[in-house]
Amino acid sequence: MKNDLLLKAARGENINRYPVWLMRQAGRILPEYRAVRNSLDGFKSLVKNPDLCCEVTIQPVDILDVDAAIIFSDILVVPEAMGLNYEMIEKKGPWFEKTIRSEFDFKKLDSNIDINDRLGYVFEAIKKTKKELNQRVPLIGFAGAPWTIFCYMVDGQGSKTFSESRKLLYQNPILAHDLLNEITNTTIQYLKGQIHNGVDIVQIFDSWAGILPKNQYEEFSMPYLEKICNAINEVPKTIFCKGAFSSIKNICLLNCETVGLDWTMNIPVVRTIVGEKKTLQGNLDPCLLYASSKNIEKETQKLLDSLSSKRHILNLGHGVYPDTNPENVKTFIKTIKNYEIN
């Protein structure tokens, strides 16, 4: 591979500069993405079109000069594969017609699904993208964490509180575990399919980690993350648990190479916990990219100067916000690429 810095950093190998990519780099900010997106009748038509997924996956590599591509898809393809169809409503986000609130709902989910049959369109996009990338940079595969997918399957849409999901943990913990187990098994098959078709590294997004108290996070999310980590040994794994700083010590014990940090988390504190055993990823505030280019450079430089280990992958602390100016993203990336370690 021509540029394998991301994989080297993930494995803890020697690097002379830090690799950089952005969560949600494909899709949210580039006018070139909008053009492709507007040529179709909706988000799902794009997700199910391997040629166009390949095109928008590579756009940030060409335009922003990031050190990795992340396959254009969505975490919600997994509940759909399990039998819960979703719609992506313009300016509102995901919406599920059916939700899982009872054993009766749970029993109606499709069991023993054939992952190639249900999610073959993602695998096709991965195969095309790998070919098209021609070994320029690694391709990142991903899935939602079981807890985060559970939130969408139970609440049925985005929410500030996900109180239907949180209610279920108190009212029917057995059903909650049954559903989390099903999601976990599908996710493992899905990630193995992505790896089989060419992704070089995988990331698990636990976007709603931060809404649970520590004890519930450790009962309803972490055991399933652990199961996924232990099942996937073919490529390096990154676990990103947004907002779960109270469980960070235990997250750092998971069988993964990289731990993703959001912008509220303290890198030196986590470095003290993990020593040289893990790579850390993150964690500039996505809102920094609304600042002047001088301040973006200054704050990025400050983060780079503060790093005490080479086991680091530069990123934001969450996905890049949709109204971010791509020029500001370029400033962020250039600052990192010009920074020599030592």
Give yes or no for residue 23 binding ligand CP3 (CB under 6 A).
yes
Q: Which is nearer to ligand CP3, 152 or 310 (CB)?
A: 152
Q: How far is the CB of 23 from ligand CP3 (least distance, A)?
A: 5
- Of 68-76, 126-134, 221-229, 309-317, which segment contacts ligand CP3 by CB under 6 A? 68-76
Give yes or no for residue 19 binding ligand CP3 (CB under 6 A).
no
CA angle 248/253/257 to nearest 5° reads 100
Closest by CA position to 30, among listed 58, 67, 68? 58
Q: Is 215 exposed, middle or buried (0-12, 13-18, 19+ CB in 10 A)?
A: exposed
Cβ atoms of residues 44 and 57 within 8 Å: no
Q: Bridge partners of 95?
A: 87, 157
The one-letter amino acid code at 12 reads G
Q: Which of 28, 121, 136, 178 is catalytic?
A: 28
Q: Which of 74, 155, 200, 206 is catalytic?
A: 74
Give yes or no for residue 207 binding ligand CP3 (CB under 6 A).
yes
Q: Which is nearer to ligand CP3, 41 or 340 (CB)?
A: 41
**Residue keyed to tokens 């988390």:** 265
Is 170 a catalytic site residue? no
CA distance 100 to 86: 13
Give yes or no for residue 142 binding ligand CP3 (CB under 6 A).
yes
300 φψ region: left (φ > 0), alpha (ψ -120 to 50), beta (else): alpha
Within 79-138, the residues that bind ligand CP3 by CB under 6 A are 88, 93-94
User: Using CB under 6 A, which of 6, 7, 26, 30 touches ligand CP3?
Assistant: 26
Angle between helices 222-231 and 173-196 (to 10 degrees): 30
User: Using CB under 6 A, which of 120, 158, 198, 210 touches ligand CP3?
Assistant: 158
Name the residues annotated as catalytic: 24, 28, 37, 74, 152
User: Which residues sit at the interface with ligand CP3, rule CB under 6 A?
Assistant: 23-28, 37, 43, 70, 72-76, 88, 93-94, 142, 158, 205, 207, 319
